[in-house]
Chain A
Amino acid sequence: MLQIKNLSVNVGDKEVLHDISLSIGEGETHVLLGPNGSGKTTLLMTIMGFSNYVITKGQILFKGEDVTKMHAHERAQRGIGMMFQRPPTISGLKLGKMLTAISRTKEENIPELAKTVHMDRFLERDINKGFSGGEIKRSEVLQLMLQNPDFVMLDEPESGVDLENISLIGTTIGGLLEKDKHIVNRKKSGLVITHTGYILDYIDADKGHVMCDGQIRCHGNPREILKEIKQRGYKECLECRNP
């Protein structure tokens, strides 16, 4: 589904990601762990195609196609989607209008869909304006439901969310990633940034990666890695120079 080959990325004059390689197969969900500022969000924003993240070296292949030089909308149209941790507030643009724009010609019943994530009362509100942490996540997941991407990136889906909302958001994300389907029939893939691991209760991640200082330092079973990090922190990861 997604292949990243020797990717280096600059933000401004500074190289933030160094020689990253990563492969995520069809139906797989991977978890990205790492301390604050290690480059996790930068990697997601780069995969999504945001222009502030300049690829200086390497390639991104999506479903076998080189998308390295494509704009964000071209990547989105090919099936890449992202749940943002801190999406911008757009003054005047109503959530409902944005959903209509996303849905294009699809005949979705937006109010009904919004109800499923308790966002029906927000359709006439400016997008993200005054939204709580949980409301932002529910708005993001609602947009993704309409977009229905094949590859879903989630940037800390549980941050700022209470337990009740984590269950709702986690279950919905599980649906987006076809976790309700048998593993052999699963076509959707994902890459999830998490600090707490709460989301793993809903999405059964296949693989974990630890990112430090803009590099992927190690790979493994996501729950085991998380357990290690919870016990020992990132000290050893930071010291590890041989991924």
Chain B
Amino acid sequence: MPEPVTIPELSNEDKERLAQVGMDLTKKNRCGTFLQMDQDIVQAECGETGIEVLSYKQAIEKYDWLKDYAWKNISKEKDDITRYVAAQNDPKGYVIIAHKGSSNVMPIQACLYLGKDKIQHVHNIIIAEEGAELHIISGCASGSHAGKGGAHYGISEFYIKKNAKISFTMIHNWSEDIEVYPRSASVIEENGVFLSNYVCMQPVKKIQMYPTATLVGANSVARFSSIVVSTPGSTMDLGSRAILEAPGASAELVTRAITKGGTIISRGHINGKVAGTRGHLECKGLILKDGVIYAIPEIEGSVVGTELSHEAAVGKLAKDEIEYLMSRGLDEDEATATIIRGFLDVKISGLPDALQKQIDASIDVAEKSGF
């Protein structure tokens, strides 16, 4: 049995907040753990053969070749966020390496917790070597006592080698005064698969991210799925981009967005650069209370033989659907919750059950509080 994570200074309420983003403090259902609280690395370990979970600093010291991966996928000069993180003398964050042919059934949990610091910065590198399969749940949360504002700057670089697969499920549970700026990019080689899932059902002051996947290998696959709810005072500027550079490469970008009074900007961009590529972009939005859902789907094809499509729809709950359920005996609130639950029910093929359950559990929490 793995030793449980001991974090005595956390209140039960904050432990619950961590649990909601998928942090299993008992580690029973996780094969490895990385936990960073503010700028302190509390734990970095993995019991799975062939897979390493290291702090960024440990990893850079251990593997000289890692410098060939750091900042290769994202430019240090991209914006103020990248410049800030690149300027740190003591870089934080994690490196996860799934060596050739390794795989994990139980996911690795990576948790970034913002308690007292003004800014938490991390630089993460995730590598799945040839034929490896790696599942990660990344939970990011702030303390319930924070109340003073704060920001999270996160750089994440993913490398999915030939015949490798990474699923990365990120669940956020910030608070009304926290700003979040992830900067993420991935490179996917031949037959590689990258599943990126994002869930944020809780308030946040501002989040801005636009992860990019570059599919450089033949028959590589990228799927981005986002499930977000925006409450009053929250601004969520979210997007994902896939650049299809090899024959047979395909991408799917799916978003389910609900505003309860907040703002959601849902961006998406698929660029089909070579023949034999396919991409589909889908954004569905529900406006439950006056707020903003601004969907900006972009598809860009520059050669014969790339097939790209998008669909975007923003609206309210359909009265005939609610009444249909009411005619089966559900009251209006139950009918509404059942339909919203269905709307958010994005099943992600290739995702382990444990991670799908974690996504479902996040939605459950939101459902119990009436969305």
- The interface of chain A, by Cβ under 8 A from chain B, is 48-52, 71-73, 75-77, 81-82, 84, 87-88, 90-94, 97-98, 101-102, 104, 126, 143, 147
B321 with A90: CB separation less than 8 A: yes
| A147 touches which of B329, B342, B344 (Cβ 8 Å) | B329
A-B contact list, 27 entries, CB within 8 Å: A52-B319, A71-B326, A71-B331, A71-B332, A73-B331, A76-B326, A76-B329, A82-B327, A88-B318, A90-B321, A90-B324, A90-B339, A91-B284, A91-B342, A92-B256, A92-B344, A93-B338, A93-B341, A93-B343, A93-B345, A97-B338, A98-B338, A101-B330, A101-B338, A102-B328, A102-B329, A104-B329
A50 with B323: CB separation less than 8 A: yes
| A73 touches which of B319, B320, B330, B342 (Cβ 8 Å) | B330
Complex Cα spacing A147 to B326, Å: 12
Complex Cα spacing A104 to B334, Å: 11
User: Residue of B at shortest CB range from A104?
Assistant: B329
B325 interface hit (Cβ, 8 Å) = yes
| A98 touches which of B256, B284, B319, B325 (Cβ 8 Å) | B325
A92 with B319: CB separation less than 8 A: no
User: Residue of A at shortest CB range from B334?
Assistant: A101
| A94 touches which of B321, B324, B342 (Cβ 8 Å) | B342
Q: Is the interface of B mostly helix, strand, loop or mixed?
A: helix
Complex Cα spacing A126 to B342, Å: 8
Question: Which residues on the A side are within 8 Å of B345 (C-beta)?
Answer: 92-94, 97
Pairs of residues from A and B, 9 with the lowest C-beta to C-beta distance, nearest first = A93-B342, A92-B342, A76-B329, A72-B326, A73-B326, A102-B328, A72-B327, A92-B343, A73-B331
Known contacts A102-B328, A147-B329; 17 further A-B pairs (Cβ under 8 A) = A52-B319, A71-B332, A72-B326, A73-B335, A76-B329, A77-B329, A82-B327, A87-B324, A90-B321, A90-B342, A91-B284, A93-B338, A93-B339, A93-B342, A97-B341, A98-B328, A101-B334
- The interface of chain B, by Cβ under 8 A from chain A, is 256, 284, 318-321, 323-332, 334-335, 338-339, 341-346
Complex Cα spacing A143 to B324, Å: 11
Complex Cα spacing A19 to B54, Å: 78
Chain B proximity of A105: nearest CB distance (Å): 12
Question: Which residues on the B side are within 8 Å of A71 (C-beta)?
Answer: 326, 331-332
Chain A proximity of B219: nearest CB distance (Å): 27
User: Residue of A at shortest CB range from B338?
Assistant: A101
B332 with A73: CB separation less than 8 A: yes
A143 with B328: CB separation less than 8 A: yes
Question: Which residues on the A side are within 8 Å of B335 (C-beta)?
Answer: 73
B328 with A76: CB separation less than 8 A: yes
| B327 touches which of A73, A90, A91 (Cβ 8 Å) | A73
A73 with B329: in contact, given A88-B318, A91-B284 (CB under 8 Å)? yes
Question: Which residues on the B side are within 8 Å of A143 (C-beta)?
Answer: 328
B327 with A48: CB separation less than 8 A: yes
The residue among B334, B344, B345 with the most chain A CB atoms within 10 A of its own CB is B345
Chain B proximity of A31: nearest CB distance (Å): 21
Question: Which residues on the B side are within 8 Å of A104 (C-beta)?
Answer: 329
Question: Which residues on the A side are within 8 Å of B339 (C-beta)?
Answer: 90, 93
User: Residue of B at shortest CB range from A77?
Assistant: B329
Chain A proximity of B139: nearest CB distance (Å): 25
User: Residue of B at shortest CB range from A84?
Assistant: B324
Chain A proximity of B338: nearest CB distance (Å): 5
Chain A proximity of B55: nearest CB distance (Å): 40
| A88 touches which of B256, B321, B326, B329 (Cβ 8 Å) | B321
Question: Which residues on the B side are within 8 Å of A50 (C-beta)?
Answer: 323, 327
Question: Which residues on the A side are within 8 Å of B318 (C-beta)?
Answer: 88
Question: Which residues on the B side are within 8 Å of A52 (C-beta)?
Answer: 319
Complex Cα spacing A93 to B334, Å: 13
Chain B proximity of A95: nearest CB distance (Å): 10
B328 with A97: CB separation less than 8 A: no
Complex Cα spacing A88 to B327, Å: 12
A76 with B327: CB separation less than 8 A: yes
Complex Cα spacing A77 to B339, Å: 19
Chain A proximity of B14: nearest CB distance (Å): 33
User: Residue of A at shortest CB range from B346?
Assistant: A92
B324 with A88: CB separation less than 8 A: yes
Complex Cα spacing A104 to B319, Å: 22
Chain A proximity of B344: nearest CB distance (Å): 7
A49 with B342: in contact, given A73-B335, A90-B321 (CB under 8 Å)? no
Chain A proximity of B33: nearest CB distance (Å): 33
Chain B proximity of A138: nearest CB distance (Å): 16
A49 with B327: CB separation less than 8 A: yes
Complex Cα spacing A203 to B29, Å: 55
Question: Which residues on the A side are within 8 Å of B332 (C-beta)?
Answer: 71, 73
Question: Which residues on the B side are within 8 Å of A84 (C-beta)?
Answer: 324
Question: Which residues on the A side are within 8 Å of B331 (C-beta)?
Answer: 71, 73
Complex Cα spacing A72 to B325, Å: 9
Complex Cα spacing A71 to B342, Å: 23
User: Residue of A at shortest CB range from B284?
Assistant: A91
Chain A proximity of B151: nearest CB distance (Å): 34
Chain A proximity of B332: nearest CB distance (Å): 7
Complex Cα spacing A101 to B328, Å: 9
Chain A proximity of B208: nearest CB distance (Å): 27
Complex Cα spacing A126 to B320, Å: 16
Question: Which residues on the A side are within 8 Å of B328 (C-beta)?
Answer: 76, 81, 98, 101-102, 143, 147
Complex Cα spacing A147 to B320, Å: 19
The residue among A48, A84, A87, A101 with the most chain B CB atoms within 10 A of its own CB is A101
